[in-house]
Amino acid sequence: MTTALLVIDFQKRLVDAEPLPGDIAMVSANINTLMQRARHAGAPVVLIQHEDDTALVRGSDAWALSATLDTEARDHLIGKRTPDSFLGTGLGALLAAHAVKHVVICGYASEFCVDTTVRRAAANGLTVTLAADAHTTHDKPHANAALIRAHHNATLSNIRSFGPKISAVRAGEIAFDPAA
């Protein structure tokens, strides 16, 4: 099974600006570890960037990827305008071109773009591993970022109706299959 790593919305305005998202240092380190591991196995690394016409304008400093990410020229870039990384983007075609059947998902924001992309990937027939300690969000009035992350790890990994398995696994336990 060919696997790809999807890093969602890890952009300057979202993860580098005060107030910082919860556990951002740990999440950044785990994402970088996953990117290294994926590249070593020959798995595609896909960096997904949200854009809009006001706060995250394509090409602006706010829209740029976080400086905490160890990106490489061979990484794939996908722009999106909704929480769904597949909707109106080339992500599905990119994954199909690489014969991807399994995605590892990490990034920002747990309750929005990460959640939506996990569900859409499974609905598209992909097996999904949510990197349980490599996604985050900002604290909200009803729950802090750690609780929101834990809630989505538990909720998403218990969805069975899509068919393909969704699991939440700590970054240190995620292995990438070597490309065929």
- Give the burial string for 100-123 (b: 16+ CB within 10 Å, else e): bbbbbbbbbbbbebbbbbbbbbbe
Radius of gyration of the chain (CA): 15
Q: Model confidence over 44-63: pLDDT tens digits?
A: 999 999 999 999 999 999 99
Is the Cβ–Cβ distance between 132 and 168 less than 8 Å?
yes
Is the Cβ–Cβ distance between 66 and 27 less than 8 Å?
no
Taken in order of first residue, the domains within the chain and their CATH numbers are 8-173 (3.40.50.850)
- Tell me which residue has tokens 């990827």: 65
The pLDDT of residue 149 is 98
The pLDDT of residue 43 is 97
Q: Model confidence over 64-105: pLDDT tens digits?
A: 999 999 999 999 999 999 999 999 999 999 999 999 999 999
**CA dist 125 → 63, 150, 162, 172 (Å):** 30, 24, 8, 25
